[in-house]
Every structure is written in structure tokens, then in C-alpha cells.
């Protein structure tokens, strides 16, 4: 529905003429500060360094449309089981050649430290690195005033006419040096915006401007006189508020775990040449400063106790904790930091070297089944959260998909075996492309033998009775490196 003139005036009506507001004592701006603000805005008009800003400014002034909240899609339509009943241990026939895990072939990347920035306008810690940026005056002075379309145009005038090029260049430089994916860049821009503006609407508008200049298709919307930032994503971001604009899905990722707004008003035209979608895939581990910690996991197999010790980077764990609900491919195909993989692989190696391959893969399955308590994400985090493999090692509790992600990663890296995630309506398991007997599923033209990391004490080829004859909803393809 279009926002007509009457509706627009009603929705975005100003608080009144400034002199009236001032006399009534309800303005947040003093007379002097308002005069300075208006003078600054007047100087900003039409003084753009980028020709794209002239055409985009016109779009901001056109009539805005109303967009309704789309139905939020969940990873699971049915609740996951509240508990998993274990089965009895049963040894299976040894199959396959003897294994010898080779760790030396892993390519270790030396982490680069970020130099501490001195004398910058803003300084902050970004996952262990001290970062600093200079902020142009036009960005600092920009204000969302009045709280309407006019206020958005005023803010845009101020930032678009500022010396923003250096800041954009520095953001790109830091993102590249730290191997930040799109989510890492999102967090970096958000941190910068928070330190320039304490007001939520102002910082939202600043992040919107920066993302557009970085080439991302990011829109803003007005809802109850406040700014909503929406990021275009080609893939579904689950349990996250979204709106359909220009035949694209835009997600409010900063509010993915909070209440959403049923309707927003926004413009149809994206910023020129800003067509990049937010891609949540994690193909390279971010180059964060090392904050190394160690943890030991314990479990038993056939009456014998085992200890497996690994190290992890707390800065990476903190980063992963912020992740929204991306698709399963993102988590199943994300790498582990080399130090974490090397340490857990060494712990496994001392127990499985010399065993036949089937026994070695079974050992890893029993390790994943028995080293963690079972708890659903809503109980542990208050929301659905799929963990990366490193997170599953880190947390004491996990549920089915978390263990599936960890087991799939270890099987792929340790033994070079093909693996898929097997998704049911309320459960996630894995299946291996291995010549072993037992329960199996067909993926394309190939048979994969089931291996359930949540079915405690089960062996490869053993499926829970309630899923034994149930056709999976889908498969998650785990890519080989």
C-alpha cells in the first residue's frame, strides 16, 4: 500500500514549529545547537563527492511504500526431542585398512597482530585487536532530525558531503587483513557506528550509509519514527524478521532474537551499484588475535576411559556466539582454526592410530556422543542456535545438529571420508560414504551408512528406531577441501 500524503503527514508529523517547541520546553535541541545544526545541514546540501549520491537523494524524497513483515521461517517445524535415550554398547566387526592420522599436512596461518591505533577519533577492542578510525566531521554531526523522511535526507546530506572516503578505505583494509567474512564486516561497521553515535537511530543510519558505500544492498525503513536497518540476503536467515522489497528478501539481523515490527515504510530503489548480498558463509577463519585456552574432554568406550585435550581461541568463540541462524551448509562447511584442529587431532591420533578405519571412525563417533550433555538450544541459549564445530567442542552441552556438525568435520578431516548431514523434521544425524553395513540412506545414486552422533553408544550403521524407516527431509552436503 502506498503511503499517501495524508498518511505520511499523520505517520511522520513533526512535533511542531521549532519556536513553539522551544517555548514549550519539549525540544531536545537548544536554540544555539539547533541553529548550528541547521547551518551545518545547509552547507551539506548538494555538495556530494559521489555522483551516485545525487540520484539516490532524489529516491529518498520520493513517496515511500508500506512493507509488511514476512513470516519467519524456522529451522525446525517440530520441537527437537527433550532427551535422547542411549542404547547398549555393542562391538562391531572391524573393517577397513589400518589408519595413521597425518597432521603435518595442515596449512597453519600465522596470525597477524593489529597495531594499536593512537590518536584516532575512536578506538575499541575488536575480538582482541585494538582498532582506531578517524571519523569525518560530517559523520559526527549528522542527526536524524526531524524524525521523518526529511530527517533521513538531512542525515544523508551530512554524511554524503563529508570526507568519508578514508574511513571506507580503512574498513576495507582492516576487513581484508583480518580475513573477515560478511558477518565479521557487519560487526566491525556496527562497532564503528556505535562509537560515533550513541543514539540508536543515528547509528543505524550511519551503518546503512557505510554498508551502501561498501557495496552491500542495505535498506532502511521507518517504523514508529525510528530507523530499521534491513540487509539483503540471497539465502534464508532463519527465525529473523524480514521484509520483501523489490523482489528481494531483506533481514533485520540486528533484531534476530527480539520482537519485530509488523510494518515498515521504505523506498524502492537500492543505492546505485550496491547490489552485494550479505553472505553468512564462513570459508576462512577470521584472523583474530590469539587468546588461547585449553579444555579436556572425558568419555568412556567399552569400559575404558579416555581424555582428549584441545586448545581454542576465545576471541573466535566470542565471534561465533554472535552468529544469526544461517543455513546448515554454513555450519557444516566452516573450517576450524588450525590450532584447535591440530590439538584435537593429536588427542584422537594417539588412540586410533593402528586401528582399522571402521573402528577409528566408531571411536570418534563415541567420543562425540559421550563427551557432552544433551540439551536443546532454547534451554541453553534461549533461542535456536546451530554451533560451529569449534563451539561444540567448547560448550559442555549441545544437541543433535551441533554434534552432527562436529562429527562431520572430524570424519572429513581425519579420514577423508565423504559425509552428509541427514535432516529429519525434528532431528539431525549424519551418514558416511563408507563400505560398512547397517542402516543407510540413499543420496543421489550412492548409499551412505548412518552414523548418529546423538544416539549415545550407537555404532556406525545404527539408527534410532523412530528414524529407522523414516525418510529424511533433506541432506546437507559437506564439501571436501
pLDDT in tens, 119-178: 799 999 999 999 999 999 999 999 999 999 999 999 999 999 999 999 999 999 999 999
Verify that 231 and 308 share a domain, yes or no: no
Verify that 238 and 188 share a domain, yes or no: yes
Q: Per residue in 383-442, pLDDT tens?
A: 778 999 999 999 999 999 999 999 999 999 999 999 999 999 999 999 999 999 999 999
Could you tell me the sign of the dihedral formed by the alpha carbons of 461, 466, 468, 472, in that order?
A: negative
Asked whether residue 235 is domain-assigned, the answer is: yes
CB contact set of 292 (below 8 Å; sequence gap of 6+): 311, 312, 313, 314, 339
**pTM exceeding 0.75:** yes
Verify that 367 and 440 share a domain, yes or no: yes
The Cα–Cα gap between 223 and 200 comes to 13
For 32-120, strand residue ranges (E) read 65-68
Verify that 23 and 150 share a domain, yes or no: yes
- Tell me how crowded residue 129 is: count the other CB atoms within 10 A of its CB: 21
Asked whether residue 43 is domain-assigned, the answer is: yes
Check residue 71 and give its pLDDT: 84
Verify that 352 and 428 share a domain, yes or no: yes
Asked whether residue 73 is domain-assigned, the answer is: no
Check residue 30 and give its pLDDT: 46
All 3 cell numbers of residue 190? 556496527
User: For residue 429, what are the domain limits?
Assistant: 292-477
Following DSSP, what letter does each residue of 118-145 receive, concatenated? -S-SEEEEETTEEEEE---HHHHH----
All 3 cell numbers of residue 429? 544425524
Q: Is 131 exposed, middle or buried (0-12, 13-18, 19+ CB in 10 A)?
A: buried
Low-confidence ranges of the chain (pLDDT < 50): 1-32, 34, 40-45, 106, 108, 111-114
Q: Are strands 440-443 and 446-451 parallel, antiparallel or unpaired?
A: antiparallel
All 3 cell numbers of residue 428? 539431525
Asked whether residue 186 is domain-assigned, the answer is: yes
User: Number of structural domains, the chain?
Assistant: 2
Verify that 218 and 364 share a domain, yes or no: no
Verify that 298 and 253 share a domain, yes or no: no
Q: Is residue 149 within 8 Å of 60, Cβ to Cβ?
A: yes
Verify that 414 and 321 share a domain, yes or no: yes
All 3 cell numbers of residue 43? 552547507
Verify that 238 and 179 share a domain, yes or no: yes
Radius of gyration over every alpha carbon of the chain, rounded to an integer in angstroms:
27
CATH of the domain at 392: 3.10.620
Verify that 254 and 178 share a domain, yes or no: yes
Verify that 248 and 317 share a domain, yes or no: no
Verify that 247 and 296 share a domain, yes or no: no
Residue ranges of the alpha helices (H) in 277-353?
Answer: 314-320, 328-332, 338-352
Q: Does the N-terminal peptide bond of residue 281 adopt cis geometry, omega within 30 degrees of 0?
A: no
The Cα–Cα gap between 351 and 302 comes to 14
Q: Are strands 263-266 and 242-245 parallel, antiparallel or unpaired?
A: unpaired
Asked whether residue 95 is domain-assigned, the answer is: no
Asked whether residue 209 is domain-assigned, the answer is: yes
Asked whether residue 75 is domain-assigned, the answer is: no
Asked whether residue 271 is domain-assigned, the answer is: no
Amino acid at each position: 500500500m502506498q503511503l499517501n500524503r495524508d498518511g505520511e503527514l499523520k505517520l511522520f508529523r513533526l512535533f511542531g514549529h521549532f519556536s513553539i517547541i522551544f517555548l514549550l520546553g519539549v525540544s531536545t535541541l537548544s536554540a544555539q545547537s539547533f541553529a548550528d545544526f541547521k547551518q551545518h545541514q545547509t552547507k551539506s546540501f548538494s555538495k556530494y563527492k559521489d555522483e551516485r549520491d545525487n540520484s539516490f537523494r532524489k529516491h529518498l524524497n520520493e513517496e515511500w511504500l508500506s512493507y509488511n513483515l514476512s513470516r519467519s521461517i524456522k529451522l525446525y517445524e517440530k520441537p527437537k526431542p527433550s532427551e535422547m535415550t542411549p542404547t547398549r554398547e555393542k562391538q562391531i566387526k572391524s573393517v577397513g585398512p589400518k589408519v595413521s592420522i597425518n597432521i603435518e599436512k595442515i596449512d597453519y596461518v600465522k596470525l597477524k597482530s593489529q597495531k594499536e591505533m593512537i590518536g584516532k577519533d575512536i578506538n575499541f577492542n575488536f575480538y582482541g585487536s585494538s582498532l582506531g578510525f578517524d571519523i569525518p566531521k560530517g559523520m559526527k554531526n549528522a542527526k536524524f532530525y526531524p524524525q521523518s523522511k526529511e530527517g533521513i535526507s538531512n542525515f544523508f546530506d551530512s554524511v554524503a558531503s563529508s570526507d568519508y572516503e578514508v574511513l571506507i578505505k580503512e574498513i576495507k583494509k582492516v576487513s581484508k587483513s583480518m580475513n573477515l567474512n560478511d558477518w565479521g564486516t557487519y560487526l566491525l561497521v556496527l562497532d564503528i557506528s556505535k562509537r560515533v553515535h550513541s543514539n540508536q537511530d543515528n547509528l543505524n543510519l550511519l551503518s546503512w550509509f557505510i554498508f551502501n558505500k561498501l557495496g552491500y544492498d542495505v535498506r532502511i525503513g521507518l517504523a514508529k519514527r525510528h530507523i530499521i536497518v534491513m540487509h539483503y540476503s540471497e539465502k534464508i536467515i532463519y527465525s529473523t524478521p524480514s521484509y520483501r522489497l523489490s523482489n528481494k528478501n531483506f533481514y533485520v539481523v540486528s533484531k534476530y532474537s527480539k520482537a519485530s515490527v509488523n510494518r515498515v515504510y521504505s523506498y524502492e530503489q537500492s543505492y546505485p551499484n550496491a547490489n552485494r548480498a550479505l553472505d553468512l558463509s564462513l570459508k576462512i577463519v577470521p584472523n583474530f588475535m590469539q587468546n588461547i585456552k585449553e579444555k579436556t574432554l572425558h568419555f568412556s568406550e567399552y569400559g575404558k576411559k579416555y581424555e582428549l585435550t584441545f586448545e581454542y581461541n576465545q576471541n573466535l568463540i566470542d565471534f561465533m556466539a554472535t552468529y544469526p541462524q544461517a543455513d546448515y551448509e554454513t555450519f557444516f562447511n566452516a573450517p576450524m582454526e588450525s590450532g584447535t584442529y591440530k590439538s584435537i587431532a593429536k588427542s584422537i591420533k594417539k588412540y586410533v592410530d593402528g586401528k582399522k578405519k571402521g573402528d577409528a571412525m566408531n571411536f570418534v563417533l563415541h567420543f562425540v556422543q559421550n563427551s557432552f550433555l544433551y540439551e536443546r538450544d532454547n534451554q541453553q541459549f534461549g533461542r535456536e542456535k546451530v554451533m560451529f564445530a569449534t563451539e561444540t567442542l567448547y560448550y559442555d552441552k549441545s544437541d543433535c545438529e551441533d554434534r552432527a556438525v562436529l562429527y562431520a568435520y572430524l570424519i572429513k578431516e581425519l579420514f577423508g571420508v565423504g559425509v552428509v548431514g541427514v535432516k529429519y523434521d525434528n532431528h539431525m544425524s549424519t551418514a558416511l560414504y563408507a563400505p560398512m553395513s547397517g542402516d543407510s540412506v540413499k543420496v543421489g545414486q550412492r548409499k551412505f551408512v548412518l552414523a548418529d552422533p546423538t544416539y549415545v553408544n550407537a555404532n556406525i550403521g545404527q539408527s534410532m528406531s523412530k528414524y529407522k524407516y523414516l525418510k529424511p527431509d533433506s541432506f546437507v552436503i559437506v564439501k571436501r577441501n
